[in-house]
Structure 1
Amino acid sequence: MTEGMEKQGTEEVAFAMPRIGQKAPQFDAITTHGMKKLSDYAGKWLILFSHPADFTPVCTTEFIAFQEIYPELRKRDTELLGLSVDSVTSHIAWVRNIKEKMGVTIEFPIIADLNMKVASKYGMIMPEQSDTAATRAVFFIDDKQVVRAIIYYPMSTGRNMAEILRVLDALKTSDQHGVVTGANWKPGDKVIVPPPKTTAAADERTQDSSLEVIDWYLSKKDLK
């Protein structure tokens, strides 16, 4: 099969994996909450994630963990949408099983992507791991439906929910305050001020007592 192509029946159909900064690929899909379109989420942030299969141990722990952070996501005006190539009947049975056996109600919808249409648009299928199961991908899509961050995990490794919240908070902080965030940043930490664009501004920066100036190109401040 040609690189950048997906196979449907006997035909090869071109698709492009989304990149950070691009518009997220539009879709409409059957979910456990009825039909959903990407445009349904316009004006809100969306975390779209894929999992390999229902009724599997790592995925079950992840769904419980995603449900645990779902209230925090909604506080941040962010919705959650899962996906795998299982049927909607399988999804419903699995969600019911999680509630019965683990006492957790999964409140967010799950796409039933049997034809792998959405998974292919988003580059969620990794043939080196599986031709028929989505890998563990996470797409952060902003309120303008632009892809802002992407995280991939192998099938063997469950995701870290604290990191998903941290990335979302970092993106929103950068948008709101025009700053960037350093390694291991978390809410409440100092943020990084964009570096000066001229030599004169660099000289001024080193004299700015309102900032923690490590050097002219690396300066931090507290957010009030």
Structure 2
Amino acid sequence: MSLKLGDVVPNFTQASSMGNINFYEWAGDSWVVLFSHPADYTPVCTTELGEVARLRPEFEKRNVKVLALSVDSVESHLGWIKDIEEVNNVKVDYPILADEDKKVSTLYDMIHPNSLNNLTVRTVFIIDPQKRLRLTMTYPASTGRNFAEILRVIDSLQLTDNYSVATPANWQEGQECVIVPSLSDEEAKQKFPKGFNAVKPYLRLTPQPNK
């Protein structure tokens, strides 16, 4: 199944390192970062899952739950978590799905046979509280993910969902935003009392509206 942006993602029930998870029930009204890794007891994955554990307070501040996945067993996950915690000096307090039957991997198209044979690639899904897919990124096995970028995208999505703005290249929290073209200048003046700078008629910059 090939998921596209804006699609409602499929529900599933699967075993995890923290018990069985029904995805919709577990997610509730939170945002979710669902991310797959190729295999337990591998070096890059060990650093990635440790980094997610370290960033858990940042995800929680944004009402985001994190959920990892590979095709390894629950027993394998539980053993490997000890290594993740030791290497990264963290507590892994989020679930890792044990997708041994590849049910979730197939639903979310996480297995790319020409990249890794029967293992999940490094895919990231950002899913909103309405269970709609808002972002997907897929990395090669040799490249660990930049989770600061994933947090940046969440900040952008949560901002632009609530205000008539978009975020420019390399935008970071607190920086200027772009006013959406559908607003006239008059509407923009009313909506953005801090004003805006019209670099071009279609490119109008305004201070971040929720700051």
1:23 aligns with 2:28: no
Give 1 or 2 for the bigger CA radius of gyration: 1
Residue matched to 2:17: 32
Residue matched to 1:177: 163
Q: Secondary structure at the match of 2:41?
A: coil
Residue 170 of structure 1 deviates from its aligned partner by: 0.5
Residue 18 of structure 1 deviates from its aligned partner by: 1.2
Residue matched to 2:128: 142
User: Could you tell me the percent identity over the aligned residues?
Assistant: 39
Residue matched to 1:69: 55
* Conserved 8 A contact 1:124-1:135: yes
Q: Distance in 2 between matches of 1:74 and 1:191?
A: 24
Residue matched to 2:195: 210
* Conserved 8 A contact 1:18-1:25: no
Query: Greater shift after overlay, 88-97 or 188-197?
Result: 188-197
Q: Distance in 1 between matches of 2:48 and 2:201?
A: 43
Residue matched to 2:85: 99
Residue matched to 1:4: none
TM-score scaled to structure 2, two decimals? 0.91
Q: Secondary structure at the match of 1:171?
A: helix
Residue matched to 1:109: 95
* Conserved 8 A contact 1:205-1:213: no
Residue 109 of structure 1 deviates from its aligned partner by: 0.1
* Conserved 8 A contact 2:121-2:140: yes
Residue matched to 1:220: 205
Q: Secondary structure at the match of 1:64?
A: helix
Show structure 1 runs of 5+ residues with no match. 1-15
Q: Distance in 2 between matches of 1:36 and 1:168?
A: 23
Residue matched to 1:118: 104
Residue 68 of structure 1 deviates from its aligned partner by: 1.2
Residue 102 of structure 1 deviates from its aligned partner by: 4.1
TM-score scaled to structure 1, two decimals? 0.86
Q: Secondary structure at the match of 2:204?
A: strand
1:161 aligns with 2:147: yes
Q: Secondary structure at the match of 2:151?
A: helix
Show structure 2 runs of 5+ residues with no match. none
Number of residues of Structure 1 aligned to a counterpart in Structure 2? 205
Q: Distance in 2 between matches of 1:114 and 1:187?
A: 39
Q: Distance in 1 between matches of 2:141 and 2:8?
A: 26
Q: Secondary structure at the match of 2:65?
A: strand
* C-alpha distance 205-83 of structure 1, shift in aligned 2 (>3 A): closer
* Conserved 8 A contact 2:198-2:205: yes
Q: Distance in 2 between matches of 1:25 and 1:156?
A: 28
Q: Secondary structure at the match of 1:34?
A: coil
Question: What CA RMSD, in Å, does the superposition of the two structures yield over aligned residues?
Answer: 1.9
